[in-house]
């Protein structure tokens, strides 16, 4: 995927249907072949029936949850058990004595304080490099404690939707960019880190490490909103932290890769995806190339990798060769 | 009449307006967080080295590393009632004061953003606030009374380091009872006074003369007494840094001495 498109979709643009001229000759050929091959329809039905009969057990999700819980427990243990390996909270910490700072929190502080001490520079650069390597929004699905709670809320939401008791109300994805901008400007103008007041990531991380507080009411309100009104609303449409990490991850070597050759276009991946717009390319006739890297908004959660019946979505670490 | 079907663009526009409305509500909620600090509702004592309140709130990244390094757990984190001050560290000296038993201002060293300024190196350079005798009538010394037993009762959880008991580890105040003819707890436990006394006898803390406070912090002065009882009154001096040990140790309820947030928490050390 082109970097420009990747960023545009990150900021909230709807994915566009590619022009014929944008599709590579190989992909055009493959699209045509897929259309001509009537037996594929039967195969797709076969795949879907098989999937219905033997629902796939997700393997990446439990592993990811384990990582997420372990990272957060490492914060807790470093304090309570005095392991001293990962001190602080998600907003800023020290890993084995080395400074780390959440990019969005650091940005808020820099804009509000208008002065940067060297430790914060070190922490920010370290974390930037770390999440550039690991994919940016990877932070969201593999580390953020709110993400885990939101996934559980999503399970309840989907259950209620299947019973017809609630309906998902999608929101405008451009909201997150506005949110990001508004809070950046507010920090600069007011001199307060206004976003931190409502950051569920910060609130949860501190609650876990230093004990619960009334601020958790806000987190619960967000979760209820997501259960009864809009699926995964905060992570999808609101969280400026997600956008900041998305900006970093756009240029990351770590991606989810889509392979058109293997794809039967069942659409299973889009059903489980937190950010289904990034998977627009899997729709029949949309892929511009045989092999497409998924865009910046992807959290590399791996649910699509698990959901895909034909293994056309995989984790991929780009070699240096692909940058040249 | 059948309801008019919305076109895709109309739906999109409606959705955009709804979304922006919700965004506005959340932003307003977050902005309301400025009110408690502007109004001064949360008049907190901040940890050693804290910048002036507004700058401190701007610079603090709310990570709690200062909380983690404090050997007496004097630092707590504020809740959402403090608005933009959520997650910022504060000290409740009556519960647990900063007794500088870490010796090296660990909280200052732990702070990743400079909201606790590294310009502060020694306990006597700190400027948390300033002690004030607010209830002289209940002060035991003013009444000419002594004190016997654990200063705050047997159930009090507060910690303090007594060098003569254990040089390195703070112990519960409840485990260190006193027997005083005239109560002088606020003076005898004052960390600045303790250091100044060590320096006076030529034994500065850790053998480091830089740790010697240039000014005294608190003393007892005799007051007129017409009934032959010796009465004394604590007098707070320029060297007071607002650590709050006097407030923590004061055995009367409510405490006779408190630490007031120093509005002038400014000129003492460079503030960026």
Q: Closest-CA residue in chain A for B21?
A: A175
The tally of CA atoms less than 13 A away on the side-chain side of residue B160 is: 31
Per-residue tens of pLDDT for chain A, all 324 residues: 688 899 999 999 999 899 989 999 999 999 998 888 888 888 888 888 888 888 888 999 999 999 999 999 999 999 988 888 899 999 999 998 899 999 999 999 999 999 899 999 999 999 999 999 999 999 999 999 999 999 999 999 999 999 999 999 999 999 999 999 999 999 999 999 999 999 999 999 999 999 999 999 999 999 999 999 999 999 999 999 999 999 999 989 999 999 999 998 988 999 999 999 999 999 999 999 999 999 999 999 999 999 998 899 999 998 776 766
Same domain, A135 and A200: yes
Same domain, A185 and A85: yes
Taking CB atoms and an 8 Å limit, are B80 and A206 in contact across chains? Answer: no
**How many domains in chain A?**
2
Taking CB atoms and an 8 Å limit, are A92 and B54 in contact across chains? Answer: no
Domain finish residue from A247, A266, A300? A247
Domain finish residue from A247, A274, A299? A247
What are the residue boundaries of the structural domains of chain B, listed by start? 43-261
Same domain, A143 and A39: no
Interface confidence, given as ipTM, is: 0.90
b or e along B220-231 (b: 16 or more beta carbons within 10 Å of the residue's beta carbon)? beeeeeeeeeeb
Q: pLDDT tens digits, residue range A136-155?
A: 999 999 999 999 999 999 99
Distance from CA of B124 to the nearest CA of A (A): 24
Distance from CA of A45 to the nearest CA of B (A): 30
Provide the domain limits for residue A16.
3-56+253-323
Rounded CA separation A165/B79 (Å)? 35
Cα angle B91-B96-B101, degrees, rounded to a multiple of 5? 95
Give the model's pLDDT for residue B271: 41
Rounded CA separation A175/A43 (Å)? 40
Same domain, A176 and A209: yes
Q: How far is CA A218 from the centre of its chain?
A: 22
Mutate: best of B14, B113, B120, partner A, most A CBs <10 A: B113
Domain finish residue from A189, A218, A247? A247
Contacts of B80 in chain A (CB under 8 A): 197, 203, 213-215, 217-218
User: What is the per-residue DSSP string for A147-171?
Assistant: HHHHHHHHHHHHHHHHTTS------
Same domain, A236 and A288: no
A79 touches chain B (CB under 8 A): yes
B27 touches chain A (CB under 8 A): yes
Rounded CA separation B247/B228 (Å)? 29
Same domain, A186 and A141: yes
Helix boundaries (H) for B70-184:
106-110
Same domain, A137 and A258: no
Same domain, A91 and A202: yes
Q: Closest-CA residue in chain B for A12?
A: B16
Give the one of A91, A102, A175 whose C-beta lies nearest to B20's C-beta.
A175
Same domain, A82 and A221: yes
């Amino acid at each position: 995927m082109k970097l420009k498109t990747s960023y545009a979709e990150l900021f909230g643009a709807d994915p566009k249907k590619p022009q014929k001229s944008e599709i590579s000759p190989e992909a055009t050929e493959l699209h045509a072949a897929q259309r001509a091959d009537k037996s594929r329809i039967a195969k797709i039905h076969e795949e879907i029936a098989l999937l219905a009969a033997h629902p796939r057990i997700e393997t990446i999700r439990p592993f990811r949850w384990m990582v997420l819980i372990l990272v957060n427990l490492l914060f807790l243990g470093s304090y309570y058990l005095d392991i001293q390996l990962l001190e602080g909270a998600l907003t800023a910490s020290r890993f084995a004595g080395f400074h780390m700072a959440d990019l969005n929190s650091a940005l808020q502080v820099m804009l509000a304080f208008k002065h940067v001490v060297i430790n914060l520079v070190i922490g920010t650069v370290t974390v930037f490099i770390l999440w550039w390597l690991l994919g940016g929004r990877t932070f969201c699905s593999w580390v953020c404690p709110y993400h885990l709670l939101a996934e559980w809320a999503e399970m309840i939401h989907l259950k209620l939707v299947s019973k017809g008791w609630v309906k998902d109300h999608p929101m405008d994805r451009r909201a997150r960019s506005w949110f990001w901008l508004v809070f950046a400007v507010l920090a600069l103008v007011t001199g307060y880190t206004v976003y931190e007041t409502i950051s569920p990531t910060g609130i949860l991380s501190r609650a876990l490490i230093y004990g619960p507080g009334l601020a958790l009411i806000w987190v619960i309100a967000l979760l209820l909103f997501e259960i009864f009104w809009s699926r995964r609303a905060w992570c999808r449409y609101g969280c400026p932290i997600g956008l900041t990490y998305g900006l970093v991850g756009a240029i990351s070597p770590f991606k989810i890769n889509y392979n058109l050759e293997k794809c039967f276009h069942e659409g299973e991946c889009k059903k489980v995806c937190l950010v289904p717009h990034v998977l627009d390319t899997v729709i029949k006739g949309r892929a511009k190339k045989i092999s497409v890297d998924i865009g910046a908004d992807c959290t590399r959660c791996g649910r699509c990798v698990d959901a895909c019946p034909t293994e056309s979505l995989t984790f991929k670490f780009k070699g240096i060769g692909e940058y040249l | 009449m059948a309801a008019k079907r919305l076109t895709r663009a109309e739906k999109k526009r409606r959705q955009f307006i709804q979304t922006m409305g919700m965004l506005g509500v959340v932003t307003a909620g977050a902005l309301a967080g400025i009110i408690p600090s502007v109004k001064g509702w949360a008049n907190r004592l901040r940890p050693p080295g804290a910048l002036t309140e507004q700058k401190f709130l701007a610079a603090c990244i709310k990570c709690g590393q200062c909380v983690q390094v404090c050997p007496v757990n004097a630092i707590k984190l504020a809740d959402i009632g403090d608005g933009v001050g959520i997650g910022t560290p504060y000290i409740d000296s009556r519960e647990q004061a900063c007794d500088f038993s870490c010796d090296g201002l660990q909280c200052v060293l732990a702070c990743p953003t400079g909201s606790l300024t590294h310009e502060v190196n020694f306990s006597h350079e700190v400027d948390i606030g300033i002690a004030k005798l607010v209830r002289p009538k209940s002060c035991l010394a003013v009444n000419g009374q002594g004190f016997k037993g654990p200063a705050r009762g047997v159930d009090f959880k507060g910690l303090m380091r007594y060098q003569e008991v254990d040089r390195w580890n703070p112990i519960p105040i409840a485990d260190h009872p006193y027997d005083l003819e005239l109560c002088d707890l606020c003076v005898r436990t004052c960390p600045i006074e303790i250091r100044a006394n060590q320096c006076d006898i030529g034994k500065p803390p850790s053998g480091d003369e830089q740790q010697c406070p240039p000014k005294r912090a608190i003393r007892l002065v005799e007051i007129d007494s017409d009934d032959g009882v010796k009465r004394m009154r604590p007098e707070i001096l320029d060297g007071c840094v607002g650590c709050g040990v006097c407030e923590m140790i004061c055995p009367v309820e409510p405490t006779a001495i408190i630490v007031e947030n120093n509005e002038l928490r400014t000129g003492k050390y460079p503030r960026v």
